[in-house]
Amino acid sequence: MKKTALTLLALSILSAPALAQSQPSITIYAAIGYDQKVVDAFNKANGTQVKLVDLSTGPLLARVQAEKQNTQWDVVWFDGAEAMRDLANQGLLLRGWQPKVNWNALARQVIPADHAYIPAGVSLAGVFLVNAKAVPENQTPQSWADLQKPEWQGKVGMPNPAISGPTYPLMTGIMADAGGIDAGKKVLSNMKKNGMQVFDTGGPLIKQLLAGTISVAATQSTRGIDAQVKKQPVRVVYPKSMTLLPSNFGLSAHSSPEKQAVAKKFIEFFLSPAGQKVALESGDSDSYFYPLVQGARAHALLPELSTLPFRKVDPLIWGPREAALNTWFAQNVAH
């Protein structure tokens, strides 16, 4: 009996390292504020060695394209279904798999029919953040048409869609709201003529808003909730041109089955109660998203999504246009 007990004890001690060694290391390219915290929690819970490469969305997508013939990633994770759809169209993503989780009703609005990628959460693109110290409440702008008026000359900012993942969906919302691509380009061109400032990403944009360099920032809804949590002097406006903005995971179609198994395990961890707790309580601005699994609760400051005037744009239509429209923006608005 003693020998048997000692043998079982030895096996139990060895089992965790042996399990870790049996799982290959995977690489995740991500552009999510709390991504490192989720990776650390997953590694600790599973004895894995997931490697994270954290980038802004634009550089992330450029790296994916540069490695197209020799893929170095197993999972990509960023905001915006349009870019993810484009990767699927190029044959880079594994289709047909969905995690074993209890999706909520919101999730069913953003799960692609061909299961080419997996939604992680939802926010909104195209929210206005207004410096409450600089703008009286009765003068708060409510639309992009308002922001083209002379009184806002040089006082408006937005991120660059070629770098900031949530900003291309913001731009598609402007175009859809205006009635088409040409009409949307005219709106953005008028904003440029009116002195709109363009920043690489949302972080520098918000710094300039709080500094008073600009009075209005058009950006992702999570930034507005973050400002409210921090009790910053920011007023949040939800205009009609907002678009639903899902963050998504993409699994590499070129990874080995063994690596794909670990990648799937990571995604299911993120969507589990433990993973959702890390994501929703990380303290990063990206944490203020609407969850897609039953039982997970968004931060109390998030308004009910059903009360907001947002639209959904079709990634099948807008995904293939992203590169060309971002190039147009860079040449005509960002410079």
pLDDT band at residue 21 under the 50/70/90 scheme? low
3-state class of 246 per DSSP? Answer: strand
Give 187-216 as a DSSP string.
HHHHHHHTT-EEESSHHHHHHHHHHTS-SE
DSSP assignment letter at 215: S
- Residues 115-166 pLDDT 10s: 999 999 999 999 999 999 999 999 999 999 999 999 999 999 999 999 998 9
Count CB atoms within 10 A of the CB of residue 227. Answer: 23
pTM to 2 decimal places: 0.90
Model confidence over 288-323: pLDDT tens digits? 999 999 999 999 999 999 999 999 999 999 999 999
d(CA 289, CA 312): 16
Task: For residue 106, count other CB atoms closer than 10 A to its CB.
Answer: 18
Query: Is the pLDDT reported for residue 6 higher than 80?
Result: no
How does pLDDT run across 74-103, given as a tens digit for each residue? 999 999 999 999 999 999 999 999 999 999
Q: How far is residue 78 CA from its own chain's centroid?
A: 4
Say what percent of the chain tops pLDDT 70: 94
Q: Which domains does the chain have, with CATH numbers?
A: 2-122+245-302 (3.40.190.10), 123-244+309-334 (3.40.190.10)
Contact 132, 234 (CB under 8 A): yes
CA–CA dist 317, 146 (Å, integer): 28
Q: How far apart are CA 191 and CA 152, in angstroms?
A: 9
> Encoding tokens for residue 79?
């905001």
Per residue in 177-211, pLDDT tens? Answer: 899 999 999 999 999 999 999 999 999 999 999 99
Smallest Cα–Cα separation from 286: which of 236, 246, 237, 231?
Answer: 246
Mean pLDDT, rounded, for 230-242: 94
Is residue 23 over pLDDT 90? Answer: no
- Residue 286: pLDDT over 60: yes
What's the mean per-residue pLDDT of the chain?
92
194: burial class by Cβ within 10 Å (0-12, 13-18, 19+)? middle
3-state SS assignment for residue 98: coil
Query: Would you say residue 1 has pLDDT above 50?
Result: no
pLDDT band at 332 (very low <50, low <70, confident <90, very high): very high
**Residue 13 above 80 pLDDT?**
no
- pLDDT value, residue 267: 98
pLDDT of 55 higher than 50: yes
pLDDT value, residue 252: 98
Q: What angle do CA 47, 49, 51 make, to 5 degrees?
A: 150
Under 8 Å between Cβ of 195 and 233 = no
pLDDT of 111 strictly over 70: yes
Residues 6+ apart with CB under 8 A from 100: 268
The DSSP output letter for 141 is: -
pLDDT of residue 68: 94
Predicted confidence (pLDDT) per residue in 35-45, tens digit: 999 999 999 99
Q: Which two tokens stand for residue 18?
A: 């042996």
pLDDT at 2 over 50: no
